[in-house]
Structure 1
Amino acid sequence: MIHTLATRSVVRDGVSGRTMRPYVLRGDAVQERVTATSYRVGGRPGADLVLADPRVSRLHFEISVDAHGYRLRDLGSTNGTVVDGYRANDLYLRPGSEITVGDTTLRFTPEDDEVDVPASPDDRFGPLVGASVAMRELFALLAKAAPTDATLLVEGESGTGKELVAEAVHAASG
């Protein structure tokens, strides 16, 4: 019998070590240099992304990563920074935010927001049965958690199998 393992991408909770990149939607980028946790955009060399737009200041804005997320700060630009239609000086971005500086529009895109969740090769875990990727991902997580002394919180509506999950983890805990 051949088992095919599957993984899928999910959003990670922390921001430490993440990288990001603004993609140019309208306008021209002359040079691009990606950095890990800070990204400066402007109209002159020295910026990570140099825009060929005369209305863009030398160092127009910076995006950095901190404990709260992705922070955009205008660096004292002459013509200002607009995020999702609103003038911005200092704010936290959401994935997909559109940033307009001068005649150039960029889309903010986090690059490391995904991690792979492995799926179990088995279609059962104790009394639980399921062949879907979602169930096999659950089985892999339960198998990993069962031998630890971690406290698990199992949530769900009535009749969804919370008690079966608890029994399966208890049995696998050794």
Structure 2
Amino acid sequence: RSIPLQHGFTIGKSPGSNLILDDGYTSTNHAQIGMEPGGTCRLYDRNSTNGTFANGVRITEVVLGHGMSIRIGSTELRFLAE
């Protein structure tokens, strides 16, 4: 499915997350995507227990590019810029 982003988009197990991923490897407040002026998007790990991965590499922060894979817990996502 496709999910539109807004600034401060949150990912985690918390019921207040924009994208709720309820698995044993996802933290309550796992990651966040921020949007910068000009359209650049950054993915931030929010001190998760099991890490956030972009293109297979564990990150604390990364600029997202079209087609990048994101793994949070046991969930694989793909970032598609429009």
Same fold judged by TM-score > 0.5? yes
Aligned residues: 81
Task: Give the Cα separation in 2 of the matches to 1:43 and 1:96.
Answer: 24
TM-score (norm 2): 0.85
Distance 2:8 2:68 in 1: 17
Structure 2 stretches lacking a partner, 5+ long: none
How far residue 54 of structure 1 moved from its aligned partner, in angstroms, is 1.3
Q: Secondary structure at the match of 1:71?
A: strand
1:65: how far off? 0.5
Q: Over aligned residue pairs, what C-alpha RMSD do you find?
A: 2.0
Which 5+ residue runs of structure 1 have no aligned equivalent? Answer: 1-21, 24-31, 114-174
Which of 36, 45, 69 matches 2:15?
Answer: 45
User: Is residue 46 of structure 2 the alignment partner of residue 75 of structure 1?
Assistant: yes
Quick one: which amino acid aligns to residue 92 of structure 1? V
Compute the displacement of 1:35 (Å).
5.3
CA distance in 2: counterparts of 1:35 and 1:99, whole angstroms: 15
* Contact 1:79/1:102 (<8 A) preserved: yes
Shift of the alpha carbon at 1:37?
2.2
Moved over 2 A (4+): 34-38
Identity %: 33
